[in-house]
Amino acid sequence: MNYNTYTLRNFSDLPQVKSSLSAEKINEIRVVGNVLPFKVNNYVVEKLIDWSNLSNDSIFHLTFPQKEMLSPKHYREIDNALNGSYSKFELNAVINKIRYELNPHPAGQKDNIPLLGSYKLSGIQHKYKETVLFFPSHSQSCHAYCTFCFRWPQFVGVNDLRFAMNDTSLLINYLKEHPEVTDVLFTGGDPLVMSAKKLKEYIDPLLDADLPNLQNIRIGTKVLSYWPYRFINDEDADDLLRFFEKIVNSGVHLAFMAHFSHPKELKTTEVETAIKRILRTGAVIRTQSPVMNHINNSADIWAEMLRLQVNLGCIPYYMFVARNTGAQDYFAITLEQAWKIFRDAYKQVSGISRTIRGPVMSAYPGKIQILGVNEIGSKKYFNLRFIQGSNPDWVGKPFFAKYNPDAIWLTDLEPIDGKDKFFFERNI
Ligand SMILES: *Cc1c(COP(=O)(O)O)cnc(C)c1O
Ligand code: SF4
């Protein structure tokens, strides 16, 4: 299949859009798509979205901007600006103001920029001891965009909010100075928008440097959901697979961190073929996704997703809580709901699928898992645990928070026993 993309510019040319969406709905997409990222492709449109049942279609809500994703106030501002006599400059000012108000850089992401000597490595994040995140400058986009994505400032061109780095040699020097780092996680955007040739330019020097500490290379990607042809009949599909083999044969564990939001993404013959081809290279596929309203807010959806993933040879890894940014009101569910979905899905599947951990908030102090709600005496508490901590000593530590049925994020929680701070808040 040839890769065709659709954005604000041309989506209304799609026959599916013409026959299934009203003029009003098309205008809504246009309004919201001016703020949130919007890009789909022919695979998503033809194979994933069910155009006969859009109001219940998770992939439609995952990729097409919806009116309710903006507050009524923001929606009106953009609608007025688009239909008024604004200059391009004035329109951009309105759009950018709203983008900033949507909190594009949550959880202190910009605070984890490491130094090499006095040189700031702005394409690297080193938050947890063992793992460095690397943002190649050539992976600042994806094959389609998720409307909930917290990485969106990178795609919509809010320049001063972008990370990205060109030069692997700086990463290599950093790894030499940090022997505690065992994992490099390539992220973006989606690193697999890169050609095999580009990807090699980033990864080959890393292999050639023969770093004794480097054990795992991970690639965070949604390519299996949005463009499985990357491994089937894209021009360099075979080159890419051979390169995976080379990485594995060099003695490094190659982990695909595959983002799957819904069972639909696992049911096409294309994704099945793509997964088989990747696994044959010796790479391992681990799966993760946020749990979100309108997308996958039910235990049955998750249980089905876990079964399909294991059936296809993938290893379930994380269920995330949707982050506090962008269209959060639209996608958010409470921490208690997230935990109930997790538990009811976990109960339904065999131990082989219970490698999934969650629900997890990737928050400022670390990755925090909601273990559940405990009732002690007549009082309820949240029981939580650090899976990753900016202080390694916090990892594995369980703790309690006051029960709050409306909490949707860590910042909505309070410590118990009359304390005004959690133990991990003392030094930050
Ligand atoms: C999730 C994450 C990692 C990887 O953590 P693992 O628990 O090893 O999967 C690394 N860095 C950051 C910033 C993360 O959010
Ligand atoms: S594929 Fe990942 S990085 Fe790309 S838009 Fe979706 S969530 Fe964001």
Q: What is the mean pLDDT of the chain?
A: 92
Is 259 close to ligand 2, i.e. is its CB under 6 Å away? yes
The greatest distance separating any two alpha carbons of the chain, rounded to the nearest whole angstrom, comes to: 64
How far does the centroid of ligand 2 lie from the alpha carbon of residue 100, in Å?
19
Rounded CA separation 134/113 (Å)? 11
Could you tell me which residues are beta bridge partners of residue 391? none
Report residue 161's pLDDT band, with 50, 70 and 90 as the boundaries: very low
What are the phi and psi torsion angles at 150 (to 5°)?
-80, -10
Q: Name the residue of 7, 62, 146 to mutate for ligand 2: max ligand atoms within 8 A of Cβ.
A: 146
Q: At what angle do helices 23-33 and 72-83 cross, to 10 degrees?
A: 100
Cβ distance 31 to 82 under 8 Å? yes
Residue 391 is classified by DSSP as S
Q: Can you tell me whether residue 182 is helix, strand or coil?
A: coil
Q: Compute the Cα dihedral for 43, 197, 161, 163 and give only its sign.
A: positive
Q: For position 14, what pLDDT does the model report?
A: 97
Query: Interior CA angle at 153 toward 391 and 167, to 5°?
Result: 70
Rounded CA separation 93/190 (Å)? 28
The arithmetic mean of pLDDT across residues 190-216, rounded, is 96
pLDDT in tens, 295-319: 999 999 999 999 999 999 999 999 9
Rounded CA separation 105/202 (Å)? 26
Q: Compute the Cα dihedral for 128, 275, 140, 184 and give only its sign.
A: positive
Question: Which residue type is seen at 178?
Answer: H
Whose C-alpha lies nearest to ligand 1, atom 4?
131
Nearest ligand by distance to the CA of 109: 1
Is 125 close to ligand 1, i.e. is its CB under 6 Å away? yes
pLDDT in tens, 349-407: 999 999 999 999 999 999 999 999 999 999 999 999 999 999 999 999 999 999 999 99
Domain boundaries, the chain: 5-101
